[in-house]
Each structure stands twice: as C-alpha cells, then as structure tokens.
Amino acid sequence: MNRMKRPALLLIAGLVIAVVALALWVPLSSPSPETGVSPGAGTSASPGTGASASPGAGASGSSAEASETGTGTVPGFRVERRTGRDHVLTITSAALDREARARVLLPKGWSPGSGPWPVLYLLNGCCQPAYDSWASEGGAAELTARYPVIVVMPESGMVGFYSDWRDGPGWETFHLSEVRGILERHYGAGDRRAVAGLSMGGFGAISYAARHPGMFQAAASFSGVLDTTHSAPWLLGRYGEDPDDLWGAVGGPEWAAHNPVDLTSRLKGVRLFVSCGDGSPGPLDASGTGGDGGEATLLGQSREFVRRAERDGVEVTADFYGPGTHVWPYWKRGLERALPMLMTAVGAPA
C-alpha cells in the first residue's frame, strides 16, 4: 500500500511546485515603461522577447524594446533610461511613417503604476539642431524638478508646424494621439495638461489648445508665431517646403483654421501666458548683438493676439519685456515666469 501511495504523493507535490513557479513567473505589475508591454492586454510575456536590456545603451541607464499593446493609439517604443527621472523614447510612429523621439522627465515620487500625473508639453521652435532643446538649452530639467508633473519634449521636425500635413507628416497625430497614448498607458499620465513652446512651438501651443477644446488647461507662447499669414509661408519656403503641402492653398480656409489670431474665441477657459521681446539687444544678449527684426515682427503678432484674446474674454498674462532678441536665454526666463501659472492650472503647484 505504501508503494502505491508514494507515486501519487510525488505527482501531487510536482503539481504544487509547477503552480507556484507559474505564479512567480507571470508579471503582476501594471504596464511599465521599462518594457512597454502590458501583460494580458493583447500581448503575451515571453522570456527574452520585448523586454531584454541592452548593456551600454545609455550613459547611466539602459534601453528596452516595447511591443505594440493592441490599443490602436499606443505605438511600439523603446526606452533609454538616462537617469531614473530622464527617459528618451524612440517611437515607431504610424503618423510619421518612421521612428521619432520624445524625451520624458518624470516627477519626484513617480513609480510604475503611480498616477494620474499632470503633463506639461514643451514644444520646440523651428530650425533647432536638437529635438530636445528645451532640455539642452532651456533648463527644463532644473526648472520643472520641484513640480509634480510629467514633462514631455517630443520631436517636431524642422518646420513641422504642429500639424497633420495635407501632403507630409502627421505631427499633430504623433503628439496628441501616439505620444499621449504612451504617457497615459505606460507612465500614469492623467487628463490635466499644459503646453508651452517657443517661436514655432508657441504657435503649436496656442493652436493645439484652441483646436482641441478641453485637452489643455493652460498654454504659453514665448516669441511665438501667432499669425501664420506671412511667417509660415516664409519659413516653409526657406527650408524648401511647399506651403500648399501644409494646409492647402495659402490663405485658404485651413490656414485660418490653424491661425492663433483667428482662434482666440476658442480659448475661453484656457489660461494663457504670452511673452516676446522687441528685437533690440537686451540684458540677456551677448555683447555686440545687433537688432532682430524677426523678434520685432513676432512682438506685433503677440500684441494683436493678446488684444483679440482679451476682447473675447480669455484670461491672458502678457509679458512684453522690451529689449530682447530671438534667443534661448529669454525663452528659458519665460518658462520660469510662466510655470507657476501653468502648474496651478493643472493642479500641480510646487
């Protein structure tokens, strides 16, 4: 009889061990930016696929493959962890038909599964040599470190103009659907958002806020292109782009539908910050700097935008600070001045 019981006991013990091993192997956490994979959400976790770290991929972090989660608006992406707070995402974008990057700065106390966190989009200007110039030139990491907010600096093209081109890339979809989807699914981003940008990015900030009611609670423009009538065709032509490929024939209805000075009535309920210099050399310019006619032109656009916004009952803080050219020290200072309002609007005061 004992001989008959022993095999049965061994079989039961083996089954128990197998169940325990399976429970330990299956991930129990929420979707993690380390892998980009949400177990049980249309993908299966397999050892050695989609989540293997690559040694030496970053100065002090690592990169990991992320697979499509099956949600439609969340593309695949890879993560380079520069520090615990500083992540660089390489995103497989259907809207752009190529890979593109977004740099993400995480708030103190962030961990996988935490949230919801407010989000601050920082938008680049035209013609910047680096997609993340807000980090390398604008002091974004230092200025935002004390706020409980996720900061994202997405790639935007040399003259992308924060739009889905009629014949070209879909920057608007990349920013507001694909990047947004990754932040919400994998980083715990919530529905409180602010957006700020310089020059072309100032256009993007105001245009996005006006054209997507309820998506942003606050927006800021620093030396922004706030009237595209003349500035946009000139910039596009300078960089070899056909202006008609952006919003159709110049002066047509789609140009007005994207033009900040024509959209002020759609910004009610959005708190705004608008700043610009007058183009003369100022206190933050290098010695010997000459006058800047481009900045003077943008000041005229900013003044007209503020006039129309106030007429339409929009809450605007204007900072027309006088002498100053179209350079980073003024935009960095502008962000520092705008942050208290932007963060209060999204419920993330210091």
Q: What is the pLDDT of residues 233-267, one digit of tens each?
A: 999 999 999 999 999 999 999 999 999 999 999 99
Q: Bridge-partner residues for 152, per DSSP?
A: 104, 121
Closest CA to 134 of 117, 147, 144, 122: 122
Confidence of residue 270 (pLDDT cuts 50, 70, 90): very high
pLDDT at 73 over 90: no
Average pLDDT over residues 43-53: 28
pLDDT, tens digit (0-9, with 9 covering 90-100), for 112-130: 999 999 999 999 999 888 9
**What percentage of the chain exceeds 70 in pLDDT?**
79
> How many residues can be counted in the chain?
350
Task: Give the residue, 28 or 98, on which the prediction is more confident.
Answer: 98
CATH of 72-345 given 2.40.30.10, 3.30.450.40, 1.20.1250.20, 3.40.50.1820:
3.40.50.1820
Contact 270, 314 (CB under 8 A): yes
Of 44 and 329, the one with more pLDDT: 329
Q: Write down the pLDDT at residue 37.
A: 37
CA distance 331 to 334: 5
Question: What is the spatial distance between Cα 321 and Cα 171, in angstroms, rounded to a whole number?
Answer: 31
- Cβ-based neighbour number of residue 44 at 10 Å: 10
Question: For residues 75-114, b (16+ Cβ closer than 10 Å) or e, as one string?
Answer: bbbbbbbbeeebbbbbbbbbbbeeebbbbbbbbeebeeee
* β-pairing verdict for 63-64 and 117-123: unpaired
* Nearest-angstrom CA–CA distance, 216 and 219: 7
pLDDT (tens digit per residue) in 151-199: 999 999 999 999 999 999 999 999 999 999 999 999 999 999 999 999 9
Above 60 in pLDDT, residue 207? yes
Alpha-carbon distance of 264 to 302, in angstroms, equals 12
Q: What is the mean pLDDT of the chain?
A: 85
